[in-house]
Chains A and B, each alone.
Chain A
């Protein structure tokens, strides 16, 4: 696709772009927690916090997966530089989500947490997605990238599994009104579809490896 587009992202733009991502992610987070602590977040601030942080993590994850298609389509190679930041903020929201759930909803009832993770499919998949995002965050540094070598890419391909699990977590968590989770599911599917060749390669490689092991 040849887009007649004169704007080109320059290195000088990057700090501003990053600053706006920092502000755009942090300000709503801080404001919402301030409102929750001062009891200005509706009748049940706990549910409001869980919805806000959960949906926030999902949105940021989708945004981070939109960067590559955007950079390619509009030939803005430098855009790739903000992908990690968006991914890290996605985990920051996911972290707030889990902490709020354990602290304010379950109120440190650890046995209930354990039984919910095991018994409730939507919590199970949500927790699995959280663990993936957590491991991606831990290995997000240049240093980790170097020391993991080729395995780093293998690990970070799990982001595609994570976004699928998050979409499922959202769909299964609602009481009714499937429209909103379905819209998010379609967005996730579109971003995965864009990478269908890569995903196909990954899957066939897995299957081949599996067959080798059996022999």
Chain B
């Protein structure tokens, strides 16, 4: 076991990057050169502890060119090293710190994202096109996990709607189905049921077409100004901020327009606990735990009062009209 004894000269969490400095980050990056800068920005004592214990190299992310979020988010961002070390990505192991430990060798280039199904113009994007085909923008979203913890993440990406419109969906397309890469050689969790938490792979997810076309629904290719690290779903992942985190499928290789409701991974595993919709809803508890409140993962440590009330649709009330007339207790 490795213990980092913090010297008094070491920075503590409170001293990490001030917001104003963060907002100038792109200028700083430009002035410093990308590679050196990203190495500097990501190094801190906690992370050094994770990787210095072995010789494995950390996955290299690179700075992205994007339009910064134009509105300041009222909630504090979850620190980057928390976002990239606390992950549910069973393809790389079921523990929260397994993905950061097992995914660093993950090869994302070349990549192929196929958009197909009930569409006039199916197409495929390669790795470079993921970052160039659509203008990238930053969106600061709350991410609420079904396990009752949450984060605030500065994502970078583009609307799923923009991608789908490019394929020209047929009017018969009622749902969108997503699929994660299936590559047991690179993803140890896919090698056996035991390693992968009993899940059937590849991981699949789905949205109703109107949910998929909603302007909030994001395809993310980066966070905190850089490309996604593998543990967060590199090179491209879905982010549906009003739904529980497991809907936001990672490392997508296939998006298919369909007229039938597609099967979804957690629903297959336990239909009584995880529905197709999985909208964040404080009034519908998970059968085994309460969803009324959540713990916000922040920098403040063990004694922070970070238990907060969970909001309907994770606070994104603008999606309520999508579900008008539906019994959300039944369609959880």
Residues of chain A touching chain B, judged by Cβ–Cβ distance below 8 Å, are 31, 34-40, 42-49, 104-107, 109, 112, 115-116, 119-122, 172-173, 175-179
Contacts and interface: CB of A to CB of B under 8 A. Distances in A.
Contacts of A112: 290, 292-293
Contact of B288 (A37, A105, A106, A120): A120
Contact of B3 (A35, A116, A119): A35
B270 A176 contact: yes
Interface of B: 1, 3-4, 6, 13, 45-46, 49, 81-83, 85-87, 90, 94, 96-97, 146-147, 149, 193-194, 196-199, 269-270, 285, 288-290, 292-293, 295, 297, 299, 301-303, 305-307
Contact of A38 (B1, B4, B305): B4
B302 A105 contact: no
Contacts of A122: 288
Contacts of A44: 82, 86, 96, 149, 295, 297
Given A43-B85, A43-B297, A177-B198, A120 B96 contact: no
A43 B97 contact: yes
Given A38-B4, A44-B149, 19 more contacts: A34-B3, A37-B301, A37-B302, A39-B301, A39-B302, A43-B86, A43-B87, A47-B96, A48-B96, A106-B307, A119-B290, A122-B288, A172-B288, A173-B288, A176-B90, A176-B197, A176-B198, A177-B196, A179-B193
Nearest to B49: A40
Nearest to B82: A43
Contacts of A179: 193-194, 198
Nearest to B289: A120
Contacts of A45: 301-302
B78 to A, nearest CB: 9
A206 to B, nearest CB: 31
Contacts of B303: 104
Nearest to A48: B96
Given A44-B96, A44-B149, A112-B290, A104 B297 contact: no
A142 to B, nearest CB: 36
Q: Which of A34, A45, A104 lies at the interface centre, i.e. has the most chain B CB atoms within 10 A of its CB?
A: A104
A177 to B, nearest CB: 4
B94 A105 contact: no
Given A40-B3, A42-B96, A178-B198, A105 B46 contact: no
CB-based closest 3 A-B pairs? A43-B86, A177-B197, A43-B82
Contacts of B3: 31, 34-35, 40
Contacts of A172: 288
A44 B79 CA distance: 12
B302 A40 contact: no
A177 B270 CA distance: 12
14 contacts: A42-B86, A43-B86, A44-B86, A44-B96, A44-B295, A49-B302, A105-B307, A116-B289, A121-B288, A122-B288, A173-B288, A176-B270, A177-B90, A179-B198
